[in-house]
Amino acid sequence: MQDLADASTGNQATPRCLHCSEQLVLDELWGWVHDGGEYLCRDRESGEVLCQPATLI
């Protein structure tokens, strides 16, 4: 997993998805994917696959 460094404080930030707030990892082929390896977001309550791709905040 690639962490993003905050240049002003030196703190490490965990990459999160804009749509579902789940943790993201950087895949060499797909770009940003959810930590479980899925490209598309899932609804937190129902688990339904949504049409939004993993998007870095």
Q: Let me know: does 31 contact 38? Beta carbons within 8 Å.
A: no
* pTM for the full predicted model: 0.71
Q: Computed from CA positions of residues 6, 1, 27, 50, in that sequence, does the dihedral angle turn out positive or negative?
A: negative
* pLDDT tens digits, 34-48: 999 999 999 989 989
Instruction: Give me the pLDDT at residue 10, please.
Output: 55
Look up residue 44 and give its amino acid: R
Instruction: Give me the pLDDT at residue 26, please.
Output: 95
Look up residue 48 and give its amino acid: E
* pLDDT tens digits, 1-52: 444 544 455 556 899 999 999 999 999 999 999 999 999 999 989 989 999 9
How many Cα neighbours within 13 Å face the side chain of 31? 7
Instruction: Give me the pLDDT at residue 53, please.
Output: 95
